[in-house]
Structure 1
């Protein structure tokens, strides 16, 4: 089994608000990986004294711990518990009711000797490759559907009919895209923050199959280099309009 990760801030020297980690218990046949993409905060930081990087590290670390130590819980239940613990860690100092209190997208997978369980919340991506090289993208496409319908996305964050992120409400875990796949049906798995998925979703220079092929052949660092090259070719976002000219980018590859 091979696990390889790469992550980089959108701006050199700036805090990287993504989080990625994996764990494989000693002597076991299973493990878990977690990737969070922190949401860039407003100027008032959502009335929170903590940074987004603090939040993603707390939430991601707890989610990974529970995913490994509590196989009796589903990943959605692990996420719900992790959100609750993280909220309690700053409930007394921060306004968790603020709509932009620190929050993140989530991709997590957990595997044992038989199957792989997955969870995706918001706009990060999970790629599943079968033994024949066919790639399936597991996406929470609520934001894309809202934009396609001409809706303003920002006011619909964590509201009915909108889209959902992991913030301070444990119940959002029920909105995640979840599933299970037999290990015999998988050759590799990849998780990408939306910054690492820009070659497909923003610039349109790749597809998911090409992205997985690049990851398997030369690794996540090469994917981030490719994304940065596309951003460098349009540094002001003129040719390809986007929310941020450069974005934090994280990719993780799991070969089974």
Structure 2
């Protein structure tokens, strides 16, 4: 499920699950679009346009090319998306449309994964243990380095020593956290954008295992509803809360 943070603004997230006609395996794609600056970031297109293009390409490629590594598929999808608007948009702008990425693809033999930037992929094993697969580069940066958008764009965004998102440069795919697990070691997967992961990362209502339990027992909507309740309470705090009051929130849950 996916819910916008503000009913008056388009949802900038993207989510899909692909199941090949063979019935063998499948894939999931979750993107969290980065809200653009007031000047539009040099692009004529919206972030939802970008995430739909990139997400659509990834959904197709992860199913149709099962033997190609996920990092290579992300590179190809970024190239395809950039080529669709390079002639009319400034893709060199640091805030050209971009997104965080979570990919997972499973076959009878393995579960492959890719995580880029601050969305999360939770993996549950048959014994109930939960592992969070994260790209924590942004979380490890000192708060002083994130003081303003201009400072982040100039020194950290898609730069060495900073953090990386999927924008127009296909080489960023090599920066993603990737790996593979034996299929028998995975019972379920949950992909969350940071708007849903706030339940753990911002509000500390439980750990990742608790988070997956909520999703499995009560459903993704329940997790997002809990986050919304916490966000409304947090908005009344002094000093002012960090970041957006409400963020787009997406949860995809798959039992293998």
Shorter chain as normaliser: what TM range?
A: over 0.9
Are the aligned partners of 2:13 and 2:250 in contact in 1 as well (CA < 8 Å)?
yes
Q: Which residue of 2 aligns with 1:24?
A: 19
Q: Which residue of 2 aligns with 1:8?
A: 3
Give structure 2 stretches of 5+ with no counterpart: none
- Corresponding residue to 2:81 among 65, 82, 86: 86
Q: Which residue of 2 aligns with 1:186?
A: 186
Are the aligned partners of 2:234 and 2:241 in contact in 1 as well (CA < 8 Å)?
no
Higher mean displacement: 100-109 or 232-241: 232-241
**In 1, distance between residues paired with 2:229 and 2:87?**
43
Going from structure 1 to structure 2, the CA distance change for 1:238 and 1:105 (only over 3 Å counts) comes to farther
Three-state SS of the structure 2 residue aligned to 1:138 is: strand
For residue 215 of structure 1, report the CA deviation from its aligned partner. Answer: 0.8
What RMSD in Å do the two structures reach over aligned CA positions?
1.3
C-alpha distance after superposition, 1:23-69 (max 9, x if no partner): 10123211111000000100011011000000000001101111111
Three-state SS of the structure 1 residue aligned to 2:216 is: helix
Higher mean displacement: 32-41 or 226-235: 226-235
Are the aligned partners of 1:203 and 1:240 in contact in 2 as well (CA < 8 Å)?
no
- Corresponding residue to 2:123 among 124, 128, 131: 128
Three-state SS of the structure 2 residue aligned to 1:54 is: helix
**In 2, distance between residues paired with 1:202 and 1:185?**
29
- Corresponding residue to 1:40 among 16, 35, 43: 35
1:215 maps to 2:215: yes
* Aligned structure 1 segments of 4 or more residues deviating by more than 4 angstroms: none
Alignment size in residue pairs: 250
Give structure 1 stretches of 5+ with no counterpart: 1-5
Three-state SS of the structure 1 residue aligned to 2:253 is: strand
Q: Which residue of 1 aligns with 2:145?
A: 151
Q: Which residue of 1 aligns with 2:161?
A: 161
Q: Which residue of 2 aligns with 1:56?
A: 51
Q: Which residue of 2 aligns with 1:253?
A: 253
Three-state SS of the structure 2 residue aligned to 1:145 is: coil
